[in-house]
Amino acid sequence: MVMLAKPAIEQFSYIRNSRPTALFPQIPVVDLSKPDSKHQIIKACEEFGFFRVINHGVPMDFMSRLESEATKFFSLPLCEKEKTGQPKPYGYGNKRIGPNGDVGWVEYLLLTTNHDPNLLRFLSGENPESFRFALNNYMSAVKKMACEILEMIADGLKIQPRNVFSKLLMDEQSDSVFRLNHYPPCPDVQSLNGSNVIGFGEHTDPQIISVLRSNNTSGLQISLRDGSWISVPPDQYSFFINVGDSLQVMTNGRFKSVKHRVMANGVKSRLSMIYFGGPPLSEKIAPLPSLMGGEQSLYKEFTWFEYKKSVYNSKLADNRLMHFERIAAS
């Protein structure tokens, strides 16, 4: 069992557990094989900014093979993992999340999804080519699914062309990224008297859409519209979809990006893999005119590069979109 280098537990943030209420709604489940799935997706994006997809078409072999390769990587000695390079922005990171003081009970590998010949050139292990093969197969399949979901969203919103969102991910200059997160067991959780150590602090994803899959270990939580938090039951056979900040802007706030976080587990290791579908750096992000319906735009136009820079200079929990909101006339 691999553990993070053990710092003082006081260095990490923790929260006190709250008693769950029976009134919490169920996480929306969308069967992508059903003809009415686009309507279910729209409803889930409006009410939760989050949903689970089944019958998604991604081969289970791609999912299990990448999980196996990632587990091997995170089982390597720290000195071997660090040969991958520090996350500036791509590479291996341990506990430190970003440059602004955020920390978590997590280690991770952040990669570009573009077919860079130098992808994981420092990857260690007995068979680095096997890791690269598993990554490429998985990322290609998940990107295809993400684009299909975005086209269903366009259909559900009755906007043309139907690739208005998906073309941004398909663009050769798409600034999409892929992240593998490993949350080792945190034995100190047992001594915190009803509190949990934060593995990854609360935040929204800045891109258009995020596609998450994890092993069968709990920890993920999402925030509801009333500010309460609910735990997301793990499901290693399904994917979970997050609305990102950019999609919130493009729908002029009709969809809301979901705030989420991960709690450390005291017994089991959690492994998650996330595809973040982003536009090209030069892409202008603004509410789509076809969705305005004569209403005022809630957001100023900005490029993805401008927003990405703002996110990079913020802390995880900051409301990054606040700086790009239009102030309503009094």
Q: How far apart are CA 233 and CA 218, in angstroms?
A: 6
- CA atoms 152, 153, 154, 157: torsion sign: positive
How confident is residue 3, by pLDDT bands cut at 50, 70 and 90? very low
- Whether the Cβ atoms of residue 239 and residue 213 lie closer than 8 Å to each other: yes
Q: How far apart are CA 78 and CA 93, in angstroms?
A: 10
For position 100, what pLDDT does the model report?
Answer: 80
Output DSSP code: residue 226.
T
Identify the residue with better confidence: 193 or 217. Answer: 217
Which amino acids are annotated catalytic? 270
How confident is residue 122, by pLDDT bands cut at 50, 70 and 90? low
Looking at the chain, how many residues does it have?
Answer: 330
- Whether the Cβ atoms of residue 37 and residue 52 lie closer than 8 Å to each other: no
Q: How far apart are CA 28 and CA 19, in angstroms?
A: 22
Domains and CATH numbers, the chain: 34-324 (2.60.120.330)
Identify the residue with better confidence: 327 or 259. Answer: 259
For position 101, what pLDDT does the model report?
Answer: 80
User: 58: how many CB neighbours lie within 10 A of its CB?
Assistant: 20
**Residue 306 tokens, joined:** 């401008």
Q: Which of 20-29, 98-107, 293-302 shows the highest mean pLDDT?
A: 293-302
Cα separation values, 326 from 98, 256, 311, Å? 28, 16, 18
pLDDT tens per residue across span 143-163: 999 999 999 999 999 999 999
Nearest to 1 by CA among 226, 158, 179, 182: 182
% of the chain with per-residue pLDDT over 70: 85
Is the pLDDT at 140 greater than 90? The verdict is: yes
